[in-house]
Structure 1
Amino acid sequence: MDFKVLENLTLWDVVIGIIDLCIVWYVFYLIITVVRGTKAIQLLKGILFILIGKVVSDILNLTTTTSIFNTLLEWGFLVIIILFQPEIRRALEQLGRGSLFRSSNVNKSTERETLVEEMMKSIKYMAKRRIGALIVFEKETGLKDYIETGIPINGKITSELLINIFIPNTPLHDGAMIIQGNEIATAASYLPLSDSPKIQKSLGTRHRAAVGISEITDAFTLVISEETGNVSVTHDGKLYKEVNYEELEVLLNKHWFGYDIVNRGEIDA
Structure 2
Amino acid sequence: MPFTWRDLLDILLVAVLFYYLYRLIAGTRALNLVRGVVVYLLVWLASSLLGLSTLSWLLGNAATLGAFALIVVFQPELRGLLERLGRAQGPKAPSLVLEELLLGLARLAERRYGALLALERRTPLGEYAATGEVLDARLSARLLVTLFYPGTPLHDGGAILRGDRLFAAGCVFPLSEAQMGLGTRHRAALGLSEVSDALVIVVSEETGAIRLAEGGRLSPPLSLEALRERLKGVVHA
Query: What TM-score does the superposition give when structure 1 sets the normalisation length?
Result: 0.62
Structure 1 equivalent of residue 160 of structure 2: 178
Shift of 1:74: 2.9
The answer to whether the aligner puts 1:236 opposite 2:219 as a matched pair is no
User: Does the 8 Å contact 1:134/1:224 carry over to 2?
Assistant: yes
Q: Which stretch shifts more, 222-231 or 148-157?
A: 148-157
Structure 2 equivalent of residue 57 of structure 1: 46
User: Does the 8 Å contact 1:40/1:84 carry over to 2?
Assistant: no
CA distance in 2, matches of 1:70, 1:114: 53
Note closer, same or farther for the CA distance 1:77–1:165 as it changes in structure 2 (3 Å cut). same
CA distance in 2, matches of 1:40, 1:143: 15
CA distance in 1, matches of 2:104, 2:132: 21
Structure 1 equivalent of residue 92 of structure 2: 109
The answer to whether the aligner puts 1:187 opposite 2:169 as a matched pair is yes
1:33-52 matches, within 5 Å, as 43=33, 46-47=36-37, 49-51=39-41
User: Does the 8 Å contact 1:194/1:211 carry over to 2?
Assistant: yes
Note closer, same or farther for the CA distance 1:87–1:215 as it changes in structure 2 (3 Å cut). closer
Which of 166, 169, 175 does residue 151 from structure 2 map onto? 169
Q: Deviations over 1:211-244 (max 9, x none)?
A: 1111122221001112222110111111112122
Q: Deviations over 1:166-219 (max 9, x none)?
A: 11122221121122333223222222221214x6x4x42111111111112222
CA distance in 1, matches of 2:45, 2:36: 15
Amino acid of the residue matched to residue 222 of structure 1? I
Please list every run of 5 or more consecutive structure 1 residues that lacks an aligned counterpart in the other structure. 2-27, 92-99, 260-269
3-state DSSP of counterpart to 2:95: helix
Note closer, same or farther for the CA distance 1:186–1:41 as it changes in structure 2 (3 Å cut). closer
Which of 196, 212, 215 does residue 194 from structure 2 map onto? 215
In angstroms, what is the RMSD of aligned CA positions?
A: 3.9
Note closer, same or farther for the CA distance 1:71–1:43 as it changes in structure 2 (3 Å cut). farther
Note closer, same or farther for the CA distance 1:128–1:84 as it changes in structure 2 (3 Å cut). same
Shift of 1:77: 2.3
Structure 2 equivalent of residue 71 of structure 1: 58
Larger Rg belongs to: 1
Note closer, same or farther for the CA distance 1:211–1:83 as it changes in structure 2 (3 Å cut). closer
3-state DSSP of counterpart to 1:80: helix
3-state DSSP of counterpart to 1:63: coil
Amino acid of the residue matched to residue 61 of structure 1? L
CA distance in 1, matches of 2:98, 2:176: 28
1:1-269 matches, within 5 Å, as 43=33, 46-47=36-37, 49-51=39-41, 53=42, 57=46, 61-64=49-52, 68=55, 71-82=58-69, 84-85=71-72, 109-110=92-93, 113-197=95-179, 201=181, 203-256=182-235
User: Does the 8 Å contact 1:139/1:256 carry over to 2?
Assistant: no
3-state DSSP of counterpart to 1:153: strand
User: Does the 8 Å contact 1:54/1:70 carry over to 2?
Assistant: no
CA distance in 2, matches of 1:83, 1:70: 20
Note closer, same or farther for the CA distance 1:36–1:194 as it changes in structure 2 (3 Å cut). closer
Note closer, same or farther for the CA distance 1:87–1:117 as it changes in structure 2 (3 Å cut). same
Shift of 1:151: 2.6
CA distance in 2, matches of 1:63, 1:130: 69
Structure 1 equivalent of residue 10 of structure 2: none
3-state DSSP of counterpart to 2:143: helix
Q: Deviations over 1:32-85 (max 9, x none)?
A: 9xx97997776566445544x269638x93333x86455333332233334534
